[in-house]
Amino acid sequence: VTATYWQGLSLKSLGQPAQAADLLKSAAMGAGDVPLLESILFQQALCERQLGRVAEARQLFDSVLGKWPKGEFGDDSLHALAE
């Protein structure tokens, strides 16, 4: 899961959000309830938003906010949902 997460972030930073979103989605499905899941879902949401898939991005931001309201990405997710 960790390796897939980092591969996804690398693809995102290389300007390949579609491939990154696919990898991050795969990582999230295999992550169970590991602490890294918050970051995986948040990064996937950013990729989905970049691709114009607003509904998917909103669902992921909402999930992050719902599961980790005081987590590392809670405030950022709330901000993204308000946009």
Instruction: Tell me the C-alpha distance between 11 and 28, whole Å.
Output: 16
**Which is nearest to 39 in space by CA: 4, 83, 15?**
4
Q: Which two tokens stand for residue 56?
A: 């998917």
Instruction: Tell me the C-alpha distance between 34 and 68, whole Å.
Output: 12
Q: Each residue's pLDDT tens digit in the chain (83 positions)? A: 899 999 999 999 999 999 999 999 999 998 888 889 999 999 999 999 999 999 999 999 999 999 999 999 999 999 999 98
